[in-house]
C-alpha cells in the first residue's frame, strides 16, 4: 500500500462509521424469550415472543405478542407490526418449542436462529410441554420471564442433574454423525412455577421419547464429565442422600469385537442426609454397594432403550469412529441395535459429613 493513500483511507473510514445506524435501547423492545408451536394450518407456525417493560416503580411487565406465519422471518415482521417500538433479538436468552412441533421437526427454526448474528450460540433451547405459547403467557419470578427461565435452566445444568445443552451443542450433535441431540423439557407446575420435568430424546430433529425426572441423574453421569446431582439410596437401616461431587465416564470400543461396547463410570460422592439411627462404616459400605447396583441397573436400562429406539444420545458412534481405523459407518449403523453394551460402575462414598 502506498503511503500517500493512507490519509484518504482513514478519512473514508470516519465517514463510513458515521453511516452506521445507532440504536437507543430505550427505543427498542428487546426479546428475552421466544416460543414456537404448530399453527392453525399444516404449513404455518405459531410464534410467541416476550419482552420486558421496566416500570417507574422498578416493577417489570412482561409483554407477550403472538402471530402465525410460514417462515420465522415473516413471523418476526408480523410481530413487529404489533409492537410499539422495533423488536430486536439481541438479548434472546431462551427459545422454546412446543411438544407437538418437536415431533414434526425443528431444524428449519433452529437453523434460522444460528443465522441471526445477534443471537449467541450459548442461548438455551428447550421443549415446552404442552405448548410454548401457553407457557410464555405466565408470570415467573419478580422480573423478566426470559431471565427467569434462563436461570432455571442454567443452575440445573451446572449444579443439578440436567445435562448441558444449548444452541451450539444442539447443532453440533445434529450434524455430528454418530450422535443424536437431546433437550430439557419445561412444564408449568402451578401459577408462576416451572420445572424441568424430563429430557427429550430426539432422532435428528424430532422428539421420539423422554427420560423421566427420576432417571436424569443416571443419564447425566453418562454424558457429562462432572455432576453435582443428588441421588437417594436405600438400605434396610434407612435412606441416604448421596451427592455426586465428581463423576467421569469412559467408553471402550474394540473394533475386533465390533458388537461390544463398554461404558465405565467413576463417581465420588458424599452423604448429605441419612435417616437411620447410626451411620457406621458398615452402613456406608452398604450404601456404596446399593448406589453402584442402582447406577448399573438404571444406566443399562437407559442404553438398551437407546438401542431399541435406534438413537445415540451418548455419541457411541462418534466415539467408535474416532477410535477405529477404517471405520465403516454403514456396518456400524446396520449393527447398532445389536450392540452389546456393558456398564461398570466404580462409585465410592468419600465423606459422610458430620453425621459420622
Q: Using an 8 Å Cβ cutoff, are 33 and 50 in contact? A: yes
Tell me the C-alpha distance between 191 and 41, whole Å: 30
Confirm if 230 and 242 have CB atoms less than 8 A apart: yes
Residues 203 and 237 in one domain: no
Q: Is 220 inside any structural domain?
A: no
**Are residues 148 and 200 both part of a single domain?**
yes
Provide the whole-model pTM: 0.88
- In whole angstroms, give the CA distance from residue 182 to residue 179: 10
Checking if the pLDDT of 18 tops 90, the result is no
Determine which of 223-227, 246-250, 324-328 has the lowest per-residue pLDDT on average. Answer: 223-227
Based on the fold, state whether residues 351 and 268 are members of the same structural domain.
yes
Residue 303 lies in a domain: yes
Same domain (yes/no): 187, 236: no
Q: What tens digit of pLDDT does each residue of 277-313 get?
A: 888 888 899 999 999 999 999 999 999 999 999 999 9
Q: Grid coordinates representing 84?
A: 410499539
Q: Across-strand partners of 45?
A: 38, 69
Whole-angstrom distance, CA of residue 272 vs CA of residue 227:
15
Examine the domain organization and report whether 267 and 198 are in the same domain. Answer: no
Residues 236 and 175 occupy one common structural domain: no
In a domain, 6, yes or no: no
Assess if residue 70 is contained within a domain: yes
Closest alpha carbon to 144 in 251, 30, 245, 231 = 30
Overall number of domains in the chain: 2
- Domain co-membership, 197 together with 229: no
Burial of 2 (0-12, 13-18, 19+ CB in 10 A): exposed
Q: Give domain status of residue 16, yes or no.
A: no
Same domain, 270 and 153: no
- Mean pLDDT confidence for 69-94: 86
CA–CA gap between residue 170 and residue 4 (Å, rounded): 51
CATH for 285 = 3.30.300.210
**DSSP summary character for residue 144:** -
Domain's final residue, options 212, 240, 256: 212
Q: Please check whether residues 248 and 328 belong to one and the same domain.
A: yes
pLDDT bracket for residue 356 (50, 70, 90): very low
- Do 234 and 98 lie in one domain? The reply is no
Considering the domain architecture, whether residues 239 and 198 belong to the same structural domain is answered as no
Shared domain check, 340 and 254: yes
pLDDT for position 98: 97
Integer Cα distance of 146 and 129 in angstroms: 17
Please indicate, yes or no, if residue 217 is contained in any of the structural domains.
no
Identify whether 7 is part of a domain.
no
What whole-number distance in Å separates Cα of residue 36 and Cα of residue 149?
16
Range of the domain at 313: 225-355
- The reply to whether 97 falls in a domain is yes
pLDDT of residue 223: 93
pLDDT tens, residue by residue, 53-74: 888 888 888 999 999 999 888 8
Given 173, 190, 212, which residue is the final one in a domain? 212
Where is the domain boundary, 164, 188, 212? 212
Amino acid at each position: 500500500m502506498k503511503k500517500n493513500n493512507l490519509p484518504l483511507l482513514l478519512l473514508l473510514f470516519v465517514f463510513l462509521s458515521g453511516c452506521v445506524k445507532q440504536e437507543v435501547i430505550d427505543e427498542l423492545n428487546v426479546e428475552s424469550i421466544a416460543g414456537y408451536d404448530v399453527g392453525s394450518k399444516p404449513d404455518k407456525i405459531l410464534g410467541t415472543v416476550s419482552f420486558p417493560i421496566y416500570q417507574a416503580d422498578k416493577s417489570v411487565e412482561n409483554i407477550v405478542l403472538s402471530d402465525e406465519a410460514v417462515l420465522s422471518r415473516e413471523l418476526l415482521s408480523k410481530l413487529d407490526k404489533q409492537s410499539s417500538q422495533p423488536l430486536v433479538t439481541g438479548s434472546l436468552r431462551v427459545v422454546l418449542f412446543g411438544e407437538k412441533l418437536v415431533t414434526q421437526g425443528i431444524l428449519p427454526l433452529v437453523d434460522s436462529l444460528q443465522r441471526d448474528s445477534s443471537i449467541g450460540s450459548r442461548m438455551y433451547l428447550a421443549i415446552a410441554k404442552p405448548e410454548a405459547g401457553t407457557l410464555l403467557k405466565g408470570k415467573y419470578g419478580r422480573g423478566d420471564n426470559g431471565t427467569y427461565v434462563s436461570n432455571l435452566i442454567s443452575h440445573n445444568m451446572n449444579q443439578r442433574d440436567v445435562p448441558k445443552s444449548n444452541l451450539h451443542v444442539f447443532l453440533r450433535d445434529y450434524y455430528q454423525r454418530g450422535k443424536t441431540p437431546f433437550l430439557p423439557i419445561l412444564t408449568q407446575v402451578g401459577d408462576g412455577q416451572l420445572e424441568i420435568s424430563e429430557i427429550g430424546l430426539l432422532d435428528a430433529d424430532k422428539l421420539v421419547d423422554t427420560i423421566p425426572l427420576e432417571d436424569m441423574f443416571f443419564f447425566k453421569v453418562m454424558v457429562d464429565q462432572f455432576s453435582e446431582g443428588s441421588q437417594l439410596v436405600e438400605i434396610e437401616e434407612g435412606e441416604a442422600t448421596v451427592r455426586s461431587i465428581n463423576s467421569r465416564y469412559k467408553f471402550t470400543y474394540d473394533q475386533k469385537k465390533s458388537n461390544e461396547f463398554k461404558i465405565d463410570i467413576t463417581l465420588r460422592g458424599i452423604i448429605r442426609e441419612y435417616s437411620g439411627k447410626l451411620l457406621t462404616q458398615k452402613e456406608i459400605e452398604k450404601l456404596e454397594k446399593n448406589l453402584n447396583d442402582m447406577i448399573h441397573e438404571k444406566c443399562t436400562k437407559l442404553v438398551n432403550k437407546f438401542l431399541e429406539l435406534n438413537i445415540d444420545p451418548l455419541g457411541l458412534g462418534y466415539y467408535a469412529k474416532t477410535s477405529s481405523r477404517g471405520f465403516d459407518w454403514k456396518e456400524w449403523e446396520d449393527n447398532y441395535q445389536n450392540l452389546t453394551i456393558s456398564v461398570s460402575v466404580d462409585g465410592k462414598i468419600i465423606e459422610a459429613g458430620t453425621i459420622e
